[in-house]
C-alpha cells in the first residue's frame, strides 16, 4: 500500500540527478543563509528570486510568533464533530475566512492585512526544488494523476499550497524555533487546545480537464513552467502561471476526540467536486468530509465510525476504504494516517500492513517508539527535516559528499509529504 506510493515518480528523477545536483550547488541553503535562515537571521520568505520586473504581490513569511495566544472565539465548540460534522467544519472554515477574504483575490490570505486575528506561517518550507515560490509562498505538493480529479482528466497536473496557523499553534512554532540555529522538537510535542492549521491548495489543472474548477479564485505564482511534469527538475524554467483553488485542508486540536487522536481533520473541494452546483469565489466550496480517527476496528470491513463523508459530494476518490482524503491526496492513505507520522527523526513510510498506518495515535505520541512526536503537524516536521538536511549539506566536508547529499535531497523532493516523503 504505502510503500508503493513512494516509487511513483522516483524513476523520472534519476536521469537528471547529476546535472540537477550540479546546478543546485549555487542554490544551496548555505548561500541563502547569508541573508536569511541563519542562526541569527530571520527565516527566509523564499529562496527563489522574483521574476524580472515583477510588480505583483510578494510573499512575506509571518514569523512574529506570539509568546502567549490572545483570547479568541472558537465557534466550532458549539458543535460536536462526531454528531454535527458538517456544521463543525464549516464553522472552522468561517473562522479561517474571517479577515482573510478581500475584494482583491490576489491579496486575500495575506496575514499582514488581516485586522480580525493573526495567522502565521511555519518556517523552513523554502528549501529544495519544491520549496516556497516568492509570490504567494506556495510549496509544490503531490501531483494529481490522470482521472484523480475528474473523469476525462487525461493529464497529470502539478499542485501548490500554502499553510497557516492561528495564534495557539504559532506559540508552539515560536517555542520550537526560539533559537534559529538549534530548534527544539520537544516544544512541538503537543500543540495546545484550539490550535487551527489551515492550508489552501491550488492546481495548474485547466477548467477543460476539471470542469468544476470554473469560477475558482486564481492566483498568479512563479512556478515550474511545465504544469504536467511532476519530476523535480531544477533545470526547468520557471514562469508566472495562473493556478486555481482546488482544496482547503483544516485541522483542529479538540480534546473532545482525545479518545481517538485528539484532532479533527476536514477537507473542502472547490465547486463541490464533479457535478456540483455552479458558482464562483472563495466561498464556493463544499466539505468532502470530516474525520477524527482512523477506524482501526474497521480494516476488515464494516462501516466507518470515525469518518463522515458528505453525501452531496462525489469525488473520483477519497482515502483508503472510504476514509477521508482530499482531491490532491493519495487514495491509499487518509488525512490522519499521513499526519500521524509527523515526528522527529522523520520516519520512512514503508510496509504494506494497513494496521500500522491506520492506528489511532493519541495526540503527542510518536508514530514510531523512541522518536519525538510533532503532534500531527507535518509542516513543523517537514520544516525541521528541511533544516537538518540543509545543515548536512552545508557541513559536508568534501565537494563530492556535498554533491551526494544534494542528489539525495532531489530524490527526496520527488515525493512530497502528501506522497509519503519527509521534505517539501
The per-residue pLDDT for 15 is 31
The model's pTM is: 0.91
Rg for the chain (alpha carbons), in Å? 20
Report helix, strand or coil for 419. helix
The per-residue pLDDT for 137 is 98
Angle of helix 399-413 versus helix 17-24 axis, rounded to 10? 110
The per-residue pLDDT for 5 is 33
The per-residue pLDDT for 24 is 41
The per-residue pLDDT for 424 is 61
pLDDT along the chain (424 residues), means of 10: 32 34 38 74 96 96 98 97 98 98 97 98 94 97 96 96 98 98 96 98 98 98 92 78 98 98 98 94 98 96 95 97 97 95 82 89 96 97 94 91 84 68 62
Place of cell 512556478: 223
Report helix, strand or coil for 33. coil
The per-residue pLDDT for 389 is 92
Task: State yes or no: cis peptide before 19, omega within 30 of 0.
Answer: no
The per-residue pLDDT for 101 is 98
Transcribe 281-340 into DSSP letters.
Answer: STT-EEEEEEES---GGGTTSS--SSEEE-TT---S--SGGG----TTS-TTS-HHHHHT
Closest CA to 197 of 154, 227, 164: 164
- What CA–CA distance (Å, rounded) separates 10 from 352? 19
CB 270 within 8 A of CB 213: yes
The per-residue pLDDT for 275 is 94
Transcribe 362-384 into DSSP letters.
Answer: PTT--SSTTSEE-TT-HHHHHHH
- As beta bridge partners, residue 248 has 200, 268
CB 160 within 8 A of CB 241: no
Structural domain spans, the chain: 2-419
Q: What are phi and psi of 249, to 5 degrees?
A: -105, 140
Cell numbers for 169? 499553534
The per-residue pLDDT for 19 is 39
Amino acid at each position: 500500500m504505502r510503500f508503493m506510493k513512494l516509487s511513483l515518480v522516483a524513476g523520472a528523477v534519476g536521469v537528471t540527478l547529476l546535472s540537477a545536483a550540479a546546478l543546485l550547488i549555487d542554490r544551496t541553503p548555505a548561500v541563502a543563509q547569508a541573508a536569511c535562515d541563519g542562526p541569527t537571521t530571520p527565516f527566509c520568505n523564499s529562496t527563489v528570486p522574483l521574476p524580472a520586473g515583477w510588480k505583483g504581490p510578494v510573499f512575506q513569511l509571518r514569523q512574529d510568533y506570539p509568546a502567549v495566544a490572545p483570547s479568541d472565539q472558537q465557534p466550532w465548540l458549539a458543535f460536536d464533530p462526531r454528531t454535527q460534522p458538517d456544521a463543525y467544519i464549516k464553522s472552522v472554515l468561517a473562522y479561517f475566512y474571517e479577515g482573510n477574504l478581500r475584494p482583491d483575490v490576489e491579496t486575500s490570505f495575506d496575514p499582514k492585512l488581516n485586522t480580525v486575528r493573526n495567522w502565521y506561517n511555519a518556517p523552513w518550507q523554502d528549501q529544495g526544488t519544491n520549496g516556497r515560490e516568492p509570490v504567494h509562498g506556495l510549496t509544490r505538493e503531490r501531483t494529481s494523476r490522470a482521472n484523480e480529479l475528474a473523469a476525462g482528466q487525461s493529464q497529470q497536473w502539478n499542485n501548490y499550497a500554502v499553510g497557516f496557523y492561528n495564534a495557539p499553534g504559532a506559540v508552539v512554532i515560536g517555542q520550537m524555533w526560539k533559537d534559529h540555529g538549534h530548534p527544539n522538537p520537544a516544544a512541538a510535542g503537543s500543540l495546545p487546545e484550539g490550535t487551527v492549521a489551515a492550508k489552501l491548495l491550488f492546481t495548474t489543472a485547466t477548467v477543460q480537464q476539471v470542469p468544476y474548477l470554473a469560477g475558482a479564485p486564481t492566483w498568479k505564482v512563479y512556478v515550474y513552467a511545465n504544469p504536467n511534469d511532476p519530476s523535480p527538475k531544477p533545470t526547468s524554467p520557471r514562469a508566472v502561471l495562473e493556478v486555481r483553488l482546488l482544496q482547503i485542508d483544516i485541522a483542529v486540536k479538540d480534546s473532545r476526540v482525545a479518545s481517538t487522536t485528539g484532532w479533527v481533520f476536514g477537507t473542502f473541494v472547490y465547486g463541490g467536486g464533479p457535478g456540483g452546483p455552479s458558482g464562483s469565489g472563495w466561498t464556493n466550496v463544499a466539505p468532502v468530509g470530516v474525520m477524527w480517527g482512523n477506524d482501526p476496528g474497521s480494516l476488515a470491513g464494516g462501516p466507518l465510525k470515525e469518518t463522515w463523508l458528505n453525501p452531496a459530494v462525489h469525488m473520483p476518490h477519497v482515502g483508503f476504504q472510504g476514509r477521508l482524503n482530499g482531491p490532491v491526496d493519495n487514495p491509499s492513505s487518509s488525512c490522519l494516517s499521513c499526519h500521524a507520522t509527523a515526528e522527529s527523526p522523520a520516519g520512512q513510510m514503508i510496509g504494506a500492513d494497513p494496521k500500522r498506518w491506520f492506528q489511532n495515535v493519541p495526540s503527542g505520541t510518536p508514530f514510531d517508539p523512541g522518536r519525538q512526536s510533532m503532534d500531527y503537524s507535518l509542516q513543523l516536521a517537514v520544516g525541521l527535516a528541511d533544516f537538518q538536511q540543509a545543515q548536512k549539506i552545508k557541513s559536508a566536508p568534501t565537494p563530492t559528499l556535498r554533491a551526494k547529499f544534494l542528489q539525495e535531497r532531489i530524490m527526496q523532493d520527488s515525493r512530497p509529504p502528501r506522497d509519503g516523503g519527509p521534505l517539501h
